[in-house]
């Protein structure tokens, strides 16, 4: 049951979506359902229409910046409909945590700072993985124009090494979460269920499977 002051933040990604309300009404409905009952006050409602991307997430989201400022002024909690509306940029998440503003996501009310930081880190990893996959495809295409042999192998070796580094980085980011699960005595199938429950994407996107968890544990040098 919701209590206290809340400031809602809704985001759509294009001018067209903002004008049509596509997705916006659904977000507002989710917030309304979440706040149904209890003693609460919605003291602000901010709508962002994003037109581009950038390293400085708050600079690209003036309405979010205003919403956070209003939360600090009113002592209110920031409320959003879906966690993925915010947790896609690790630099932005760091800024949110530094702002000391409390937040709640209607689709994952149990989420905390650690949860969203992990989700942001893996979203960033996914972007790097897509970029690397594109580079791999270009290298393969280039190699088809030469005689197979040392030249072709040299052409592909850097991409293999880059994929291995991405996989190592992915496992390292997941280490604290897996260590915590092991400390709680969670079996591997339980780890699979929890990773899927909190929305951490699998190495190749989508839901986790047991074999994927086992491969990550092996990469971290942890016994099966």
Q: Are 183 and 141 in contact (CB under 8 A)?
A: no
Could you tell me where the beta strands, DSSP code E, fall in the chain? 3-12, 39-49, 77-80, 103-105
Q: How far apart (Å, rounded) are the C-alpha atoms in residues 224 and 189? A: 12
User: To 10 degrees, the CA torsion angle through 23, 8, 127, 13?
Assistant: 40
> In angstroms, how far is the first alpha carbon of the chain from the final one?
42
Q: Are 20 and 47 in contact (CB under 8 A)?
A: no
Q: Are 79 and 7 in contact (CB under 8 A)?
A: yes
State the catalytic residue, choosing from 32, 99, 131, 207: 32
Give Cα 221 distance to the centre of its chain.
26
3-state secondary structure of 222: coil
Q: CA-based Rg of the chain, rounded to a whole angstrom?
A: 21
Across the strands, what pairs with 45? 8
Where do we find the tokens 């903002």? 18
H or E element, residue 50 = none
Q: Could you confirm whether 94 is annotated as catalytic?
A: no
Total Cβ atoms within 10 A of residue 196: 15
User: Known catalytic residues?
Assistant: 32
């Amino acid at each position: 049951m919701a209590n206290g002051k809340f400031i809602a933040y809704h985001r759509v990604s294009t001018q067209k979506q903002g004008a049509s309300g596509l997705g916006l009404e659904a977000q507002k409905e989710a917030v309304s359902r979440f706040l149904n009952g209890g003693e609460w006050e919605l003291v602000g409602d901010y709508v962002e229409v994003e037109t581009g991307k950038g390293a400085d997430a708050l600079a690209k989201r003036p309405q979010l910046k205003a919403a956070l400022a209003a939360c600090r002024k009113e002592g209110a909690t920031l409320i959003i409909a879906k966690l993925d509306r915010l947790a896609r940029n690790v630099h932005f998440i760091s800024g949110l945590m530094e702002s000391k503003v409390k937040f709640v996501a209607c689709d994952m009310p149990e989420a905390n700072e650690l949860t969203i930081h992990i989700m942001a880190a893996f979203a960033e990893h996914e972007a790097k993985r897509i970029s690397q996959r594109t580079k791999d495809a270009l290298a393969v295409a280039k190699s088809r124009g030469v005689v197979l042999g040392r030249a072709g192998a040299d052409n592909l070796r850097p991409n293999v090494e880059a994929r291995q580094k991405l996989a190592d980085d992915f496992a390292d980011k997941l280490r604290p979460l897996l260590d915590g699960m092991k400390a709680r005595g969670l079996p591997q199938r339980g780890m699979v269920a929890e990773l899927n429950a909190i929305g951490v994407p699998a190495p190749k996107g989508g839901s986790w499977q047991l074999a994927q968890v086992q491969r990550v544990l092996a990469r971290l040098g942890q016994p099966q």
